[in-house]
Structure 1
């Protein structure tokens, strides 16, 4: 079955950030301190339901370079993984190069390609990744990022409408409730991105039409 919508490709993203035991920090305080330490993405063909490429890099935190024990246990990311990883600005540059490598090969068109109709969309689970984590950290560190990050699909909103299940749920629980087993390690960004792509395919086969439902203006208002 072909995807019910206007897009040919989806780029599924799930960042992993520094984190601490929530008994010691409120969520608001944590957001102001969090830095992206894993930057994964998968390129999903929405017609064939095949993951055609993936991107992955760890990212070196600079504001609090030492990971908490809670963070290492929760994410499976070690201190060695991030110590020699690229900084956020370099990680974004590498990601941009990864996208650019498909511009001609696959005909990918993102939202900032003003002369052509967009056929590729970013998909996340909640608005945190592209609505809070990335722009907040880039703002603190004066890092520029491509304008194509400014619009995306928050899949959790569509999932809630589709299933009637309250939107305040974990991603693993969301998969379980519709009969999908989580593959890999929970809270691994790379595995989360691949499982997010599997959920997109499941919803596609169910005939769910996904349109952009989140942008920078929604988050900032």
Structure 2
């Protein structure tokens, strides 16, 4: 099947986390999948979506709640990772689309957690690391965090930093800007 290049799926994950190493018997797992679609014809951010995922291998720490604003109560009735993966595959054709994230953490985390929970990986082989793309496009000698990239562009982050849906929205904004610049350079 041919790869669909009508949209890019921009993903940002939030995972259980601690101030330091995980407590014995716990492991970092996905608790939110933020998704934004970028229309490649218009280079605009389109749909905004958040999938909350109930953790099964760990608990939400106080540190995690402070960082992400996600509380254990918010995830009590959340779906499973398998539920979210099913929607990504069925509604977004994630296996056949280019997907992007800020850095490689999200790709590696998805691969690891899907393996740990015996859930099929929802994406195909094409992943775009927007963090590296931004550093290369800006001629920087190093990669920046999302907030640092926004500062470099003279922009302010929208929404709540370290919430998957808002961070995916902000990553998609940078991606759109980079692609618009690349296209306008082609016109010269």
TM surpasses 0.5:
yes
Q: Is 1:45 the equivalent of 2:39?
A: yes
Question: Once superposed, what is the RMSD of the aligned Cα atoms?
Answer: 2.5
For structure 1, the residue ranges without an aligned partner over 5 or more in a row are: 1-5, 101-109, 113-119, 210-221
Q: What's the counterpart of residue 118 of structure 2?
A: 142
CA distance in 2, matches of 1:139, 1:97: 20
Q: Is 1:179 the equivalent of 2:154?
A: yes
CA distance in 1, matches of 2:141, 2:67: 24
User: Which of 2, 8, 11 does residue 9 from structure 2 map onto?
Assistant: 11
Aligned-pair CA distance for 1:166: 4.0
CA distance in 2, matches of 1:134, 1:124: 11
CA distance in 2, matches of 1:94, 1:125: 22
Larger strand percent: 2
Q: What's the counterpart of residue 169 of structure 1?
A: 144
Give the TM-score normalised by structure 1.
Answer: 0.74
Give the TM-score normalised by structure 2.
Answer: 0.86
Aligned-pair CA distance for 1:47: 2.3
User: Which of 63, 84, 87 does residue 57 from structure 2 map onto?
Assistant: 63
Q: What's the counterpart of residue 200 of structure 1?
A: 175
Residues 33 and 185 of structure 1: CA distance in aligned 2, closer, same or farther (over 3 Å)? same
Aligned-pair CA distance for 1:85: 0.6
User: Which of 121, 138, 144 does residue 98 from structure 2 map onto?
Assistant: 121
For structure 2, the residue ranges without an aligned partner over 5 or more in a row are: none
**Alignment: residue pair count:** 180
Q: What's the counterpart of residue 21 of structure 2?
A: 25
CA distance in 1, matches of 2:46, 2:133: 24
User: Which of 73, 81, 98 does residue 74 from structure 2 map onto?
Assistant: 81
